[in-house]
Structure 1
Amino acid sequence: MAKDSQVEPAKEGFLNDVFKLRENNTNVKTEVIAGITTFMTMAYIIFVNPSILSDAGMPFEGVFIATIAGIILGTLAMAILTNYPFALASGMGLNAFFAYTVVIGMDVAWQVALGIIFFEGLLFIALSVTPVREMIVNSIPMCLKTGISTGIGLFIAFIGFQNAELVVGYDATLVTIGEVLSGPGLVAMVGLVFSGILYALKIKGALLWGILGATLFGFINGVTPMPDGIIEFPTFAAWNEVLFELEFAAVFDFGLIAVILSFLFVDLFDTAGTLVGVSQQAGYLDENGDLPKASRALLADAIGTTGGALFGTSTVTTYVESASGVAEGGRTGLTGVVVSFLFFLSLFFMPIVGIVPAAATSPALIIVGTMMMTNITKLDWDDYTEILPAFMTMVVMPFTYSIADGIAVGFIVYPLIKLFTGQGEDVHWLVYVLGVVFVAYFVFL
């Protein structure tokens, strides 16, 4: 026993010095298990993100590599700058906004959209070293934050139903139900029920197992194609199709102001909410409810976003799935290092990832939308000046197929209804400014 007790500190000595393991009441084994757990719960993104961005015309294999590169950069930046066990990846909702609202809906080239994200990341880097980013987050009313996150959840779920062909176009009513018991619809339904059961049983990696299960079922009804192999070295020539393929000429076009603002707000709220929620679970918040090293965490997030745009993927942000690793005892950046290493290994399994049909990833979109809907409980249902702006924000997004329009409508309705009910002084001046900006957006564009 004495010999073991001497070997263990020696083995962990270097890692303890780097990640302060003993100070955080953890050890290498715990951090490795936490990293594996976090990886399992968020690995679905390497299937879903390329699927979504390929709908916008981006090459699937190139985005697959870019997604993993963005994960590694953002997660390692968080580990190094903060020593927190938070993992980062291309954000759900933000990738849908990128593909379906900006590129498809607004007919913006995906190269220009990447340029917007890169510009946003640079702006966030500048704001993260000043109190400005925190001030912006604090100035936005909670009802609009809730409306935005809930609306994105509805929008993501709607996209999932469409990708599975469970919801299809219909002239008389715009949309109607598709085939539920055959083809892609059946694959999606099987995956959805399977994933739901796993979630109910609190199985780690429920979304990932759901995607894999639906993909396997797809072999039965011919939706999933047979793979050409299992392991394959990354084809970096495919990455060159998206790597550094940014265009800046049109970024500052007046017509894209609302898009830039929408990216900024969604990323701000998503990051802030995730950081606070996971940090509370990890016990990082101080007596005032503030997060120590918050500016560093936001800086790591901004670095991930900027690097991700250069690599060829949508906005990289802190992942709420990091909470699963925290629940397993992860308390330091070593958890993030393990997550990054596992995603690096996943680079060599492109043949398997490439056969996953959209119908198999649709359940993940629907379930993520379900989880985001839980934010609606935070609304004050007795205050109509809070409910109406939040409601307009959340329903306009799926109804208009535009996250930007939902945000714009919310920022217009909120200050107006507050002003004309005698509560104008409760509205932050910045919200009035943004309301005017969005009115100009609708008038001139």
Structure 2
Amino acid sequence: MNSLLEKTFKLSENKTTVRKELMAGLITFLTMSYILVVNPQILSTTGMDRDALFTSTALAAIFATLMMALYAKLPIAQAPGMGLNAFFAFTVCGVMGYSWQFALTAVFIEGVIFILLTFFNVRELIVKSIPKVLKDAIPVGIGLFITMIGLKNAGIIVSSPDTLVTLGDFSKHDIWIAFMGLLVTAVLYARNVNGAILIGIVASTLFALILGDVKLPEGSLISTPPSIAPIFAQFQWNNILSFDMVVVVFTLLLVNLFDTVGTLIGVISKTGLADEDGNFPQMKKALFADALGTTVGSVLGTSTITAYVESASGVASGGRTGLTSVSTACMFILALFFAPLFLMVPAAATSPALIIVGLFMISSVVKINFNEMSDGLPAFLTIIFMPFTYSIAEGIVFGILSYTFIKVCSGKVKEVSATIYVIAVLFLLKIILGAMGIVG
């Protein structure tokens, strides 16, 4: 078995081991397993069967992550994307008033278009055309973004009507659970202990158990997954040529493309697999895995699939190959049958992992020359828009727009590629349509 894994994933060449990869996959799963709860909650507001959504969410994550593992051979996990599921539920089915079958059809069409764009190298061309300064800024922005997610999940920062955000209430146990895990993880890292992030998650969960915030599952830990029959391949074809369908598919295409691109660039930059321009050999395969995952996910009955930024927690723990993703997919398989056990891990217990990973990801900020305004400002906007708009895609949008405008207006037209001009125009179109209330 070890020789087979070595041959398949080239573990020695990537300076990793089976144990490291499996551990990294488990950590990635733990930091993103919330999607098994949150995705059904969001999509069920459209009238979709919530129990069926639990199963479809897990199955879609398993398929898409295995595609990334076995085809692209990257330590990137995939699942229904946050933000994209909210657009599906609250904009398409809520504001626009369409059925969930209509929204599911839009996701399917988006997936097919992405497969075609990937086959003809359009998506890879877009990724490679992103300026290096923005590729250096993207991991920094993602680092701040996932740190903010970690702080929010633990209640360390909370919303405020006066100051937008403020320090949380320290009488809440979640804050202390998170700080316990953060302290344990940091000390173990300082002492070069393998599996520090996972041990920190376990320590936080045990502390939550002692405080009474978490209870051991009652009854049997094993249960049969609910049927996906109520939502399987429930497409609605009578509106596919409507203007609204075009708008919905266009929005899904843009958001998913740059969410995935941002995550791939940000996470892979920390594995040592990318070259100095931020590109890596498996880019096309990774994008194809994402496109096929979205298409199959829509058939299974869930919203758009995307690469998960939480994969950075597995990479930070030593994950370097597709074996990490195989491990994550296996955890999703187990979750189908052992949901009570996996879901007992509280969000506060995974927060330290996200905060630590945020620390690791901001290191590329030293590569950016902030003294050169035409590079520095676009990089800065890319970084700050990700956490402050709660969107990786928006950070890339405003980074590319500012890069294009400043370069052109300062007489550096030749530094902007034709592809970036086209992308900038599309971004402007999306912003204008959004201002008109046509696009979400």
Q: TM-score range by the shorter chain?
A: 0.7 to 0.9
Among 268, 291, 305, the residue aligned to 2:261: 268
Structure 2 CA distance for partners of 1:203 and 1:71, relative to 1, 3 Å? farther
Structure 2 CA distance for partners of 1:254 and 1:338, relative to 1, 3 Å? closer
Aligned counterparts, 1:213-252, within 5 A: 213-229=203-219, 231-237=221-227, 244=233, 252=245
Q: How many residues align?
A: 416
Match for residue 395 of structure 1? 384
Q: Which structure 2 residue ranges, 5 or more long, are not aligned?
A: 435-440
1:112-136, CA deviations, whole angstroms, 9 ceiling, x for partnerless residues? 7766654443333223323323211
Identity of aligned residues (%): 32
C-alpha contact 1:90 1:313 (8 A) present in aligned 2? no
C-alpha contact 1:163 1:362 (8 A) present in aligned 2? yes
Aligned counterparts, 1:287-436, within 5 A: 295-311=284-300, 312=302, 315-317=305-307, 319=311, 321=314, 340-341=329-330, 343-436=332-425
1:237-285, CA deviations, whole angstroms, 9 ceiling, x for partnerless residues? 4x5676557778697353774553121022124335655764739xxx9
Structure 2 CA distance for partners of 1:80 and 1:185, relative to 1, 3 Å? closer
Question: 1:228 Cα shift?
Answer: 1.6
Q: What is the CA–CA distance in structure 1 between the aligned matches of 2:158 and 2:82, rounded to whole Å?
A: 18
Question: 1:56 Cα shift?
Answer: 3.5
Q: What is the CA–CA distance in structure 1 between the aligned matches of 2:91 and 2:363, rounded to whole Å?
A: 27
C-alpha contact 1:31 1:335 (8 A) present in aligned 2? no
Match for residue 186 of structure 1? 176
The CA RMSD measured in Å over matched residues stands at: 4.2
1:90 aligns with 2:78: yes
1:174 aligns with 2:142: no
What letter corresponds to residue 90 of structure 1 in structure 2? Q
Structure 2 CA distance for partners of 1:298 and 1:434, relative to 1, 3 Å? closer
Q: Which structure 1 residue ranges, 5 or more long, are not aligned?
A: 1-10
Q: What is the CA–CA distance in structure 2 between the aligned matches of 1:419 and 1:325, rounded to whole Å?
A: 42
1:341-382, CA deviations, whole angstroms, 9 ceiling, x for partnerless residues? 454334332112233333223333333433333332332333
Question: 1:224 Cα shift?
Answer: 1.9
Question: 1:145 Cα shift?
Answer: 3.1
Structure 2 CA distance for partners of 1:396 and 1:116, relative to 1, 3 Å? farther
Match for residue 36 of structure 1? 22
Q: What is the CA–CA distance in structure 2 between the aligned matches of 1:273 and 1:214, rounded to whole Å?
A: 27
1:48-99, CA deviations, whole angstroms, 9 ceiling, x for partnerless residues? 33355366355887666445434432344355546x4x344226xx834435
Structure 2 CA distance for partners of 1:348 and 1:272, relative to 1, 3 Å? same
C-alpha contact 2:107 2:303 (8 A) present in aligned 1? no
Point out the more displaced range, 55-64 or 171-180: 55-64
1:152 aligns with 2:142: yes
What letter corresponds to residue 416 of structure 1 in structure 2? F
What letter corresponds to residue 412 of structure 1 in structure 2? L
Match for residue 33 of structure 2? 47
When the two structures are superposed, what TM-score results if normalisation uses the length of structure 2?
0.75
Q: What is the CA–CA distance in structure 2 between the aligned matches of 1:372 and 1:241, rounded to whole Å?
A: 41
C-alpha contact 2:132 2:278 (8 A) present in aligned 1? no
Secondary structure (helix, strand or coil) at the match of 2:33 reads: helix
Q: What is the CA–CA distance in structure 2 between the aligned matches of 1:87 and 1:355, rounded to whole Å?
A: 25
When the two structures are superposed, what TM-score results if normalisation uses the length of structure 1?
0.75
Question: 1:385 Cα shift?
Answer: 0.9
